[in-house]
Structure 1
Amino acid sequence: MKTRGALSKTRLLPSLVGLILTLLGLAMLIGGIKLSQLGGSWYYLIAGIGVGLTGLLLIAARRAAIWLFALFLLASTVWSLREVGLDWWQLVPRLAMWFVLGIVLLLPWVRRPLGITRMKSASAAALSIAVVLAGLTAVASQFTHPHDVDGTITRDAPGQNDAVADTMNGDWPSYGGTERGQRYSPLDQITPQNVGKLEEVWRYRTGDIPGPDDPSETTAENTPLKVNGKLYVCTPHSQVIALDPDSGNELWRFDPKLSTQSADSFKGWAHMTCRGVAYYEDDGDAAEPAYASADVDASENAANGDDGIPASVEDEPTATCPRRLFLPTADTRLIALNADTGEMCPGFGDNGSIDLTQNIGSFTAGGYYSTSPPSVAHGLVIIGGHVTDNESTNEPSGVIRAYDAKDGHLVWNWDSGNPDETTPIGFDETYTRNSPNMWSVMSVDSELGLIYLPMGNQMPDQWGGNRTPEAGKYSAGVTALDIDTGQVRWTHQFTHHDLWDMDVGGQPSLVDIQTDEGVKPALMASTKQGSIYVLDRRTGEAIVPIHEIEAPQGAVEGDRTAATQPHSELNFSPDMLHGKDMWGVTPLDQMLCRIQFQSLRYEGMYTPPSLQGSLVYPGNFGVFDWGGIAVDPERQIAFASPAYMAFTSQLVPREQADGGERISETEGVQPNAGAPYGVIMGAFLSRLGLPCQAPPWGYVAGVDLNNHQTVWQHKNGTVRDSAPVPMPLPMGVPALGGPIMTGGGVAFLSGTLDQYLRAYDVTNGSELWKGRLPAGGQTTPMTYEGQDGRQYVLVMAGGHGSLGTKQGDYVVAYALPEGDDSN
């Protein structure tokens, strides 16, 4: 009896392992049958049989279990190499679990009860060989970088760019560095040789923390300005704070005391953000008054004054406010602040403020306001507005309005629904409802007299059956307007009949580039689909060739799709996804992702939305979003941070959509009131909440502007702050927020999901330094020269609600040690 009891105990471990393998095999068999029925890989069905039989043989104490698992592990290794090669992160879900189980089966407590007493036995030797081969495959994959591009942009360091240096003067006076949106500074104190010495020199907290009633997407996407001897910071709730650039000490603060527009809370708002403010200094320019138009009747003129000009205009509007900040608030105001004191400028608009709801019509709380800073040019402050995505077909107009920067009178308005008439409309008129909007940041060429609008879409994003011809023309591209009149000078569309939310999110970068035909004034527009369109900014004609490629067809009833879509030769557009590109931690969740993938409609980029559910890749955040790219006009290099995350969308018939719950602009049922379909949207995730597509999901890349070739590209960022276990695994993660470049040959980027500000060598993309941030840095950093002569690099670290990064209220400045600017 003792012998039988001891034998029973020794068989307990093999039986337990056998039970686990049997259950694993059964799950894979069921999933494998489903996957094969959908046209996917047969591996999981066959693997389910092999693993399940191994488990049953273990329970029966048969040594054949070891032989069978050895054969299975060897076959799995060969299959994995055939599917993905030596790609470590792709091999992990395919082999890691089986590798560990192979080692478990070789343990003496498992094999001895099966009668395998020595490792030299044939079955143990076979399994040992299979385990070693799988392990060697994993080791070999550590020395390969299949997604990287190695290269160097060999170009001598530039001399001082006098034009840029004179414009910036060691400052960062505009959201994109200058009105040209290059996100470049000629400061060169920080170099690849000394950037490793950067240290945090001060830290400031704004006190603007997301509250319990705030939208989930409450974000600190602000890029501060440095001008007028001060730093100007804008917080998510539209507060403006002036700081001392050298110490971070607060100089003044302005709180607009937002009206919530919704019963004392922000619930129901899509998001809450302030990307920045605009600076203006009176130089004697004046915009021509436009009050006495035929659309303004005598009674309105009488209310304004005998000559139709508001009384405030007859004062001296800039005498007490010669240097101004223009602040767009979340409750739909445009406020002019004295840049010296933080007080409202009384001569601008109505005692310092303009009500941007005028002529807009009705909208839901938070459904219309300017999330991005306006542009200031030719004495005008020019502003667009964000419109909530996928709320309805009756949203506010996407009108662009130009106000006199001194007194605030409306000089012109450009409404893409009525594009030829730019004279200010009458007091009781309404701009075209639901015309395409411009929510991002404009770029300006003051010499050419043009302002460049990165355009969005007519709502809703995923259904366009009733879009107007004007909406079709001006959506999802760049439109150039005459600064002084608002008249269209040219427009170039980047997505035809956009059904994928491919609005142009990034501020276009204006740079003069060297071509075979000489230097040309270019506009570079980064887009969600991954193409970077390089146009002659005088005419809108392509400098880098653009080709029309065939697009998938078959929209839902009542809609249509464009036959072709434009594709730039300079692009970071992703390759088409396949079943082998699905990912997971284990073979099980990878299999479930494959099933999900095969269940969706997917024919590549521009797969139409469907009732079945479509895979949208690139997804809603796109390859490039509002962070754009950075360009070095001297070295002729562009620095980009492409990201790759797939989304899903499923159209929902009207009667079903009306009962669904909307969580945010990218989660839950988007109502699309007025359209025949709502839509369910979300990231393409596994049951574990991980991306279903394999990493890398984010890179940094360098482009030679002279030949528009990608010279280097490296995966970027870790999962330290987004994984259950805080391990700094270098998987390559998305970055939301833009890069900057400097005259010293160093680029900076803070937008990755892990909490770091990183520095890179612009010539080859190598990471030179990283500084730990106290919260997520989903914004674009900036750099400036302090009064102490040091070059500072500054970033706002406030996190991003939708991305789940740590939220906060920090402004952090870095510099070389005092007195150390050695190379």
Structure 2
Amino acid sequence: MPVTITAVLFTLIGIALAAGGAQLLMLGGSAYYLITGIAFIVTAILLFLRRAEALWLYALIILGSLGWAILEVGLDWWQLGPRGGVIIVAGMWLLTPWIRRPLGFVSPNTGHRYSAGAAPLAASVGLAVLIAVISMFVNSNDLSGNLPTDKIAAAPALGGNVPPGEWHQYGRTPYGQRYSPLDQINVQNVSDLQEVWRYQTGDVKLPEDVGETTYQVTPLKIGNSLYLCTPHNWAIALDATTGKQKWKYDPNVGLNPDRQHQTCRGVTYYKDPQTAAGQPCAERVYLPTSDARLIALDAANGQVCPSFAENGVLHLEQKMPHNPAGYYYSTSPPVIAAGKIIIGGAVNDNYSTQEQSGVIRAFDVNSGALVWNWDSGNPTQTQPLPEGQKYTTNSPNSWSVFSVDEELGLVYIPLGNQVPDQLGMNRSENVEKYSAGIVALDINTGADRWMRQFVHHDLWDMDVPAQPVLMNLSKPDGAMVPALVGPTKQGDIYVLDRRNGEPILPVTEQPAPGGAIPEDRTAPTQPISALNFRPPTLQGKDMWGVTMFDQMVCRIRLKQLKYDGQYTPPSLQGTLVYPGNFGTFNWGSVAVDPERMVMFGMPTYLAFTSQLVPRSEVPPKGQDEKGSEQGLNRNDGAPYAVRMGPFLGPLGIPCQAPPWGYVAGADLRTGKTAYKHKNGTVYDMTPLPLPFKVGVPGIGGPMITKGGIAFLGAAVDNYLRAYNLTTGEQLWEARLPAGGQATPMTYSVDDGRQFVVMVAGGHGSIGTKPGDYVIAYSLPRR
């Protein structure tokens, strides 16, 4: 009976592999699955006939599969496992007495039944197991090396006038370096970090909230106060030493299902030099909200400052071309420079061609009066618009964080794309120029001083998501150059002269795939930076699964998609987009050490798919629709909607093989990557809490200290980790009560202790556990 059942099972396996393998072969893929499927069927027939040759044939299946797998992926355990798991388990089953005895023979002399000989099968199974064990100790995906430790800049430019123990802006200073000059916590003692306090905001994700309700805030530290916001835009002040709440302000933004995002990345602090200390609103916190308001609060008590705008509230829907309720808001904190508060805004991706303007506006920081406006659809008219005139409909926007160099008089704006992201027809000359790049605007007038584009004719949602990082960089001849470091979704790190946007590290143009739909076009070339973390083009051997079956399905799906490498244009059949919409880097940006002139980042690799849907085939509103990275994006008013999402296999896991996430360090003077290590485990990705370090996706950002430590949460397992900046080695980790998709920060308190603070609240898009936690860590008291 066991032999018959096994034969039936082998038949089913063989039919599945042969059918899928034949389809894959016709699509131009590997012949392995078809050959192996046929071999399984022949093995099944031999089992039905009780022939011992079944064991010999199966030994050949194991050896052939092992050789094929090693030729494809080498000794990569996470790639070998799915290829060999089913085959090795089946081989072990064939070695049992219940199978071998019926396949044996009866002695004519004694009448005793002997089991079939299985030495070749046992040897092949043993060899496969040995190879599997060896592969567990081979780290085939890592790049090991050291960043330089020399202090190149004795007195590095950090930007602004921020005391060492404070954190005044989203990236600590106007330069956005995410670097602290504190060094009490260092490589030698970081493993001793302990939690010192924990605060819960009370702002939790509700069942009726939009899916993209996320907690991405980086708190500010001024004096002995922390200032932060929550997903529903509460502003909160905490005692920096104890974590006790000082005040809380709720702007009552309500719930709006039209909002694509419900989040707040931070607030903006300002000290008015014209108002005496201790007077009302001498120090302020500006709060952006998801109902398109900017509210000025007294930093001392959280009360609204009535002298700003209309009783303390600036309404950002002014002069917008359409009703912006739910479709326009600012998710990132504005910047303040030269007496102006400068703010952009997020528009809902791919809802409609009648989106709000992506205008950047500068308001008087005290009165709220409009000083200038820069609209990428109408870039030369920077004076406030006259009565009756509106901003340009659907011009490229900037939803991320700006950086400022007040000495140069420039604010640096990361630009997005015009909606719909995947359709480029009918874009104006201005839109083609001012999108998917960084523009430098004059702080006082809003005039465009330079523009550097990172994607031409963007059809892939490759908006620039990260705050540009400013630093002074030493060139080989010793000259110090004011530099800008610009991380991108496509994996490039652009290092530019921030005075004029010219490359410091080389930027070249490379040929890009064609084949757009008839109504559209593609750019013949796309830029690439000498410093980049772009992944290689995906191939069939890169497909993955829990078993050989879902891996085979992923290979078939890869062949069915239009894919000629990075920048393959959107299509009706479906296109593979890699890097995907989450990007290699996102709003978490990178952190730089301006003394050592090195950077630390978290490159992530997750392929997406996009398929254009003709308007006539788009279902009625309310059915299968989203305006986000997953599902049907309607693009009302355009000839096509787009259906998009991660490239997943039948079991809902990525079709591409891990690692999906790394930590990496690079020398910004040479453009060389020193190390790239797998980051994060599947602990919170699977039903069982497995600690396997495969390198998982993440979204969030790092922070560096002078103590030689890089801190990072972000990964989809719920941990805050500390790394040796020089080597990338993990030195410490703390379990978080929710997803840590935010950027940590650090500061010191009056008794001299250095604290590290992390917000843990989860992220809607990647499905990490929601929460409302603010947690501080420090070394034990001595």
Q: TM-score, normalised by structure 2?
A: 0.97
Please name the residue that 1:271 is paired with. Answer: 261
Amino acid across the alignment from 1:572: F
Secondary structure, counterpart of 1:467 in structure 2: coil
What residue number does 1:531 align with?
Answer: 492
Task: Calculate the aligned-residue CA RMSD, in Å.
Answer: 1.8
- Paired residues of 2:25 and 2:31 also in contact (CA < 8 A): yes
1:387 has 2:347 as partner: yes
Alignment of 1:566-605 (within 5 A): 566-605=527-566
1:233 aligns with 2:194: no
Mapped partners of 1:202, 1:378: distance in 2: 37
2:2 match: secondary structure: helix
Question: Could you say which residue in structure 1 is the equivalent of 2:317?
Answer: 357
Deviation at 1:14, TM superposition (A): 2.0
Residue range with higher mean Cα deviation, 786-795 or 398-407? 786-795
Tell me what 1:148 maps to.
Answer: 142
Comparing 472-481 with 781-790, which one deviates more in the overlay? 781-790
CA distance in 1, matches of 2:451, 2:251: 36
| Equivalence map 1:770-809=2 (5 Å) | 770-809=733-772
Partner of residue 550 from structure 1, selected from 483, 508, 511 = 511
Alignment of 1:310-389 (within 5 A): 320-363=280-323, 365-389=325-349
Q: Give the 3-state SS of the residue equivalent to 2:141 in structure 1.
A: coil
Structure 2, unpaired ranges of 5+: 107-111
1 CA distance for matches of 2:594 and 2:13? 57
Q: Deviations over 1:718-749 (max 9, x none)?
A: 01001122101110011200100000000000
The CA distance in 1 between the partners of 2:223 and 2:249, in whole Å, is 17
* Residue 673 to residue 710, structure 1, CA distance change in 2 (3 Å): same
Of 37, 51, 71, 2:40 maps to 51
Q: Distance in 1 between matches of 2:444 and 2:436?
A: 24
Aligned to 2:446: 486
In structure 2, give the amino acid aligned to 1:431: Y
Partner of 1:615: 576
SS of the counterpart of 1:596?
Answer: helix
**Structure 1 Cα separation of the partners of residues 172 and 113 of structure 2:** 67
Deviations 1:798-822 (A, max 9, x none): 0011111111111111110122xxx
Amino acid corresponding to residue 341 of structure 1 in structure 2: N
Q: How does 1:79-94 map to 2 (within 5 A)?
A: 79-94=68-83
The one-letter code matched in structure 1 to 2:664 is A
Give the deviation of 1:767 after TM superposition: 0.3
- CA distance in 2 between counterparts of 1:790 and 1:101 reads 59
Counterpart CA distance in 2 for 1:369 and 1:318 is 32
Letter in 2 for 1:503: D
Q: Secondary structure at the match of 2:609?
A: strand
1:158 offset after TM fit, Å? 7.7
Q: Note the 1:360-759 alignment, pairs <5 A.
A: 360-363=320-323, 365-517=325-477, 518-659=479-620, 661-759=624-722
Partner of 1:114, secondary structure, is coil
**Is 1:129 matched up with 2:92?**
no
- SS of the equivalent of 2:71 reads helix
Aligned equivalent of 1:115: 104
Residue deviations 1:489-543 (CA, integer Å, cap 9, x gap): 0000000000000000000100111111421111000000101011000010000
Q: Distance in 2 between matches of 1:463 and 1:575?
A: 25
SS in 1 for 2:664: strand
Secondary structure, aligned partner of 1:381: strand
Match of 2:731 in 1: 768
- How far apart, CA to CA, are the structure 1 residues paired with 2:583 and 2:226? 31
Contact between 1:436 and 1:471, CA under 8 Å: does it hold in 2?
Answer: yes
The secondary structure found in structure 1 opposite 2:162 is helix
Provide closer, same or farther for how the CA distance between residues 146 and 363 of structure 1 changes in structure 2, counting only shifts above 3 A: farther
Selected match of 1:180 from 168, 171, 175: 175
Q: Distance in 1 between matches of 2:157 and 2:416?
A: 32
Q: Deviations for 1:299-321, whole angstroms, at most 9, x for unmatched residues?
A: xxxxxxxxxxxxxxxxx999521
CA positional deviation for 1:371: 0.5
Structure 2: distance between partners of 1:662 and 1:793: 40
**What SS is found at the alignment partner of 1:113?**
coil
Distance 2:502 2:373 in 1: 25
1:310 aligns with none
Paired AA for residue 245 in structure 2 = E
**How far 1:605 sits from its partner (Å)?**
0.3
Q: Shift of the alpha carbon at 1:322? A: 1.2
**1:224 corresponding residue in structure 2:** 219
Deviation of the 1:156 alpha carbon = 3.6
Q: How does 1:12-91 map to 2 (within 5 A)?
A: 12-91=1-80
Equivalent residue for 1:106?
Answer: 95
Give the match for residue 249 of structure 1.
244
The corresponding residue for 1:297 is none
Query: Is structure 2 residue 185 aligned with structure 1 residue 197?
Result: no
Equivalent-residue separation in structure 2 for 1:812 and 1:112 (angstroms) = 63
Shift, 1:109, TM fit: 2.0
Query: CA separation of 1:228/1:407 partners in 2, compared to 1, >3 Å: closer, same or farther?
Result: farther
Name the SS for the 1:663 alignment partner.
coil
Q: Deviations over 1:742-788 (max 9, x none)?
A: 00000000000000000000000000000000000011111111222
Bigger drift between 49-58 and 586-595 goes to 49-58
Report the Cα distance in structure 1 between the residues aligned to 2:638 and 2:562, rounded to whole angstroms.
22
Change over 3 Å in CA distance of 1:68–1:364 after alignment to 2:
farther
SS in 1 for 2:592: strand
Report the 3-state secondary structure (helix = DSSP H, G, I; strand = E; otherwise coil) of the residue aligned with 1:168. Answer: coil
Q: Percent identity?
A: 55
Task: Answer whether contact 1:415 1:435 (CA < 8 A) is retained.
Answer: yes
Query: Using the alignment, how far apart are the partners of 2:7 and 2:688 within structure 1?
Result: 29
One-letter amino acid matched to 1:499:
L
Q: AA paired with 1:370?
A: S
Give the Cα–Cα distance (whole angstroms) in 2 for the partners of residues 158 and 199 of structure 1. Answer: 32
Question: Which amino acid in structure 1 is aligned with residue 247 of structure 2?
Answer: W
Cα distance in 2 between the residues matched to 1:317 and 1:558: 61
Deviation at 1:635, TM superposition (A): 1.4
Counterparts of 2:747 and 2:100 in 1: how far apart (Å)? 67
Output the amino acid matched with 1:324: R
SS at match of 1:662: coil
Alpha-carbon separation, structure 2, partners of 1:53 and 1:601: 35
Post-superposition, which runs of at least 4 consecutive aligned residues in structure 1 deviate over 4 A?
Answer: 116-123, 157-163, 316-319
The one-letter code of the counterpart of 1:182 is Q
Contact 1:530 / 1:642 at 8 angstroms: preserved in 2? yes
User: CA deviation digits over 1:412-432, x for unaligned, max 9?
Assistant: 111111111111112432101
Change (3 A) 1:233 1:160: farther
Supply the distance in 2 between the matched residues of 1:96 and 1:350 (Cα, whole angstroms). 66
The alpha-carbon distance between structure 1 residues 544 and 157, as it changes in their structure 2 partners (threshold 3 A), is closer
Q: Could you list the per-position Cα deviations for residues 318-351 of structure 1 after superposition, in whole angstroms to 9, with x for gaps in the alignment?
A: 9521111111001100001111110011100001
Alpha-carbon distance in 1 for matches of 2:567, 2:737: 39
Amino acid paired to 1:774: P
Alignment partners' CA distance in 1, 2:627 and 2:426: 24
Output one character per residue of 1:528-582: Cα deviation in whole Å (capped at 9) or x when no partner: 0101011000010000000100000111121110010000010000100001100
